Structure 1
């Protein structure tokens, strides 16, 4: 099993690896208390009139309306996606600590904190005035709330619009609204342009691999919807367990489906490649292997729903163009 990461792909695998880790049966999101969270224990709602700096501000997060009374200067991020987004919107200098899986950009203040095994005491030791996380594991949101620590729960996005909304949330909560809107606008345009330019007349099929078990993702998932923008047909949609979004496929199923394209999102964690696939029972004859259409993805880019989704879309678009002209 691949290492657990805070991601729409890692969310499912986190449930499988860490039974009872706080996720719901749906891998992309979590359920949290809708009670408002505030930057100070006494505040329960947003002030009617914001100051010259735009604060206080209320952000509608996964844990309900969160009131941020003033511009946070000691942010702790326990979500690699949120970390990337915070730096993208210009809040990097406000971040004092990130979790052990946040590795981008390079200057992130990485720590031993965990988003999947949150330690409230360790988090509080960082003296945060805002904590951002993707999973409400072991009731960490409520626990931090009781200590007067404001929390934004931004669970794994299930569609692009949710990813855009989360970036806007982080911009508003950190006093970087304009930059966040700039990031979102740029992402929308780039992804829309890439999708529009992609040839879709060949009706290519594909297989996306989350890990070497192998688990995959259907078109109903965030990653599946990205591929859908480029007119690709997902073989996992016809899997017996497809209703769950993340079916475990058999070697026989993939071999019989014989996808035109294979995308591997387990290259870093699990060392998968065209060569390792060829050693699997019945896979050496796959069309994607014969035509050299096995695509090595960056595990992290392929499992996060932040600004680098554009990089993933570019790679998919390039692969589709190459496959349709070869």
Structure 2
């Protein structure tokens, strides 16, 4: 999802940046079951359109391997948790996920196959893992980083169809949409607040064209990164002087757990101690993981943003 702040964070940003094309569509209607199929087959076989094309899953998966922290969260949220037998080392939510040493950034096909999966879910096709597993007749869903909310919803729905949990997946998506619409409606749209979202202390930021930027857009905020010289790439590297001159009303930090950033740390940077966000206590420490994933917990991110906007608006009035 990019630039390196740590090996983990760098890999996550790389995933975001590689996600340009998103998904090919929503889950297709289940293919007609053979005449001999029993009603308990649950609609399988089913074909799902993913980034690696149309993937047909013959039976309800019983041994799912997730090599994506976002998709691990989604699988458990839609009720597929009992079907998951192994997840990658970065999948730290929910706590009960069967975390292993598997890596989504340096996938080891032999180690993956050792889990005897009947479905593998990835967000990156690093090391040509999709083709390698395909040669071994292991179904793989490649669902890259969402570049907009609709893609995030589609991926959740597709995972629901692929795992036999369509009804729950639809429920999760409906709840997310309702919550985000409510939070956006509650936010003051005429506040004229500016903000800076920090990916790491280099500092790299995210523009309004990125997935994370679109979440902020729900709250009528103006993103200072949009005017950065290299904003076209979505993740510009800002200078300390650029941020100081822009003097954002709000600063959101997504490098808290990884890199120990907070209001006091920002105040130590050259020219930053008198920034409005620091003086007015409008520096928001985000959960690094929630701020870098595109699954169901984006609602929690939006709640944090909404609360910060409300606080800043109250302080300005």
- Report the TM-score, using the length of structure 2 for normalisation: 0.92
Q: CA deviation at 1:28?
A: 2.6
Find out whether 1:122 has 2:125 as its counterpart.
no
Asked if the contact 1:31–1:136 (Cα under 8 Å) also holds between the matched residues in 2, the reply is: no
Structure 2: stretches of 5+ with no match in the other structure = 25-29
Say if 1:78 and 1:266 are closer, same or farther in 2 by CA, change over 3 A.
same
CA contact (8 A) 1:208 1:217 kept: yes
Q: Distance in 2 between matches of 1:99 and 1:112?
A: 6
* SS of residue matched to 1:189: helix
Distance 1:261 1:250 in 2: 17
Q: 2: distance between equivalents of 1:227 and 1:47?
A: 39
Partner residue of 2:172?
Answer: 183
Q: After the TM superposition, which residues 1-326 of structure 1 pair with which residues of structure 2 at under 5 Å, given as runs?
A: 1-5=4-8, 10-12=11-13, 14=14, 26-29=17-20, 47-49=31-33, 51=37, 52=39, 53-326=42-315
CA distance in 2, matches of 1:119, 1:164: 29
Whether the 8 Å contact between 1:11 and 1:28 is mirrored in structure 2 is no
Deviation per residue, 1:84-128 (Å, 9 max, x gap): 000000000000000000000000000000000000011000000
Counterparts of 2:164 and 2:31, CA distance in 1: 16
User: Alpha-carbon deviation of 1:285?
Assistant: 1.0
2:209 and 2:76 map into 1 onto residues whose CA distance is 29
Question: CA 1:5–1:30 in structure 2 vs 1: closer, same or farther (change >3 Å)?
Answer: farther
SS at match of 2:197: strand
SS in 2 for 1:321: helix
Give the direction of change, closer, same or farther, for the CA distance of 1:324–1:47 in structure 2 (3 Å limit). Answer: closer
Q: Which runs of 5+ in 1 are unaligned?
A: 15-22, 35-45
Task: Give the Cα separation in 2 of the matches to 1:323 and 1:200.
Answer: 13
Change in Cα spacing, 1:138 to 1:10, as seen in structure 2 (3 Å) is closer
Secondary structure class of the residue paired with 2:257: helix
**Aligned CA distance change for structure 1 residues 131 and 29 (closer, same or farther; 3 Å):** farther
Could you report, residue by residue, the CA deviation over 1:235-280 in whole angstroms, capped at 9, with x for unpaired residues? 0000011000000100000000000000000000010000110011
**Aligned-partner Cα distance in 1 for 2:309–2:191:** 9
- d(CA) in 2 for partners of 1:64, 1:111: 28
Residue 69 of structure 1 and its aligned partner are, at CA, apart by 0.5
Q: Is the 8 A contact 2:19 2:146 kept in 1?
A: yes
Distance in 2 of aligned mates of 1:189 and 1:139: 38
Change (3 A) 1:47 1:231: closer
Q: Distance in 2 between matches of 1:159 and 1:213?
A: 25
User: Does the Cα contact within 8 Å between 2:66 and 2:84 map onto a contact in 1?
Assistant: yes
CA–CA separation in structure 1 for the residues paired with 2:124 and 2:297: 20
State how far apart, in whole Å, the 1-side matches of 2:150 and 2:250 are: 26
Looking at structure 2, the residues matched to 30 and 204 of structure 1 have their Cα atoms a distance apart, in angstroms, of 31
| Shift, 1:31, TM fit | 8.8
Shift of 1:49: 3.3
TM norm structure 1: 0.89
